[in-house]
Amino acid sequence: MITGASSGIGAAAARLFAQHGAHVVLTARRQKQLAALAEEIEAGGGRAAYVTGDVRRSRDMEHVVGTALDRFGRLDAAFNNAGQATPGRDPHEIPDGDYDTVMDVNVRGVWNCMRHQARAMLAGGRGSIVNTASVAGLLATGVGAPYVAAKHAVIGLTKAAAASYGDRNIRVNALAVGSTLTEMMESVVEQMPGVEQTFFARAIQKRFAAPAEIARAALWLCSDASSFVTGATLPVEGGTLAV
Ligand SMILES: NC(=O)c1ccc[n+]([C@@H]2O[C@H](COP(=O)([O-])OP(=O)(O)OC[C@H]3O[C@@H](n4cnc5c(N)ncnc54)[C@H](O)[C@@H]3O)[C@@H](O)[C@H]2O)c1
């Protein structure tokens, strides 16, 4: 199950997971993009289903998990990747509504997903959940304070869920994603021209990641190749946290 699969990192993950033999269930709000991606994966010999939904609505995510079980029999792995950013204005200039949206999409979204995924994985006896956090989950990077707070919360939820389910063969990890060239980043750069130079200034590798570079880390964490990794926040950020 991949959320936020209609573009960026989620779409790259859908392609990559399918190439590695996963049967993928894609979700996001945009039907057209999801349908085209599912069709592309199936045309390439993979297996893909899609369900439109909003991660802010628990019932939508329950429906996505149900679709995974109905179509493919079980849920082995989940990549909770849907997210939304706020531009980096001062907190007093950010409307309350933006705070609510950012917290709802990034934090409640992961919460909604994990609760339904955990039920399915407990029934199946195993599972791996990967939540998309950010360097902003560990540092004030210059993006909006609600986004920084939300991604910190994603890391907190990840650790707590890992601790809860660790004795029942379910691993839960997060990705501390760095600057990646996606629709979200394009919109941040449009609203804050030149902001990428601030991001690059911190990093060792002074460039944007391609979405596939993040997807490869998600694949590893979702797979048994990372069988002794849980509760972790894996940096995939060109060394931003190292210096
Ligand atoms: N691009 C970056 O530099 C960067 C850096 C750190 C973390 N991230 C995180 O990576 C994740 C993926 O973002 P991206 O960069 O690929 O951007 P993106 O805008 O291309 O993708 C975001 C995805 O989330 C979906 N989404 C947003 N709100 C949703 C909602 N309420 N319900 C369902 N789906 C929703 C969008 O439709 C889209 O599919 C996000 O969690 C983001 O916070 C991105």
Share of the chain above pLDDT 90, in %: 91
Residue 235 has pLDDT above 90, yes or no: yes
- For the stretch 60-82, pLDDT in tens is 999 999 999 999 999 999 999 99
User: 29 CB less than 6 Å from ligand 1?
Assistant: yes
Distance CA 243, CA 241 (A): 6
Contact in structure between 239 and 205 (CB atoms under 8 Å) = yes
101 lines ligand 1 (CB under 6 A): no
pLDDT value at residue 192: 82
The percent of residues in the chain predicted with pLDDT above 70, rounded, is: 100
Ligand 1 atom 40: residue of nearest CA: 83
Cβ contacts of 197-201, under 8 Å, gap ≥ 24? 198/142, 199/141, 199/142, 199/240
**Beta-carbon count within 10 A of 110 CB:** 28
Does residue 210's CB lie within 6 angstroms of at least one atom of ligand 1?
Answer: no
- Condensed to tens digits (0 to 9), the pLDDT of residues 194-217 reads 888 988 998 999 999 999 999 999
Catalytically active residues, by annotation? 147
Query: How high does pLDDT run on average in the chain?
Result: 97
CA distance 65 to 74: 9
What amino acid occupies position 181?
L
Give 3-state DSSP helix, strand, coil % of the chain, rounded to 5: 55, 15, 30
Task: Write phi, then psi, for 7 (nearest 5 degrees).
Answer: -160, 175
Ligand 1 atom at shortest distance from the alpha carbon of 132? 41
pLDDT by residue (tens digit) across 81-116? 999 998 778 999 999 999 999 999 999 999 999 999
Q: What is the pLDDT of residues 165-194, one digit of tens each?
A: 999 999 999 999 999 999 989 988 888 888
Contact 76, 129 (CB under 8 A): no
Three-state DSSP at 241 gives coil
Continuous segment of H or E residues that includes residue 26: strand 23-28
* DSSP annotation of 243: -
Is this structure's pTM higher than 0.95?
Answer: yes
Contact 221, 127 (CB under 8 A): no
* pLDDT value at residue 88: 76
- The pLDDT assigned to 79 comes to 99
CA-based end-to-end distance of the chain: 34
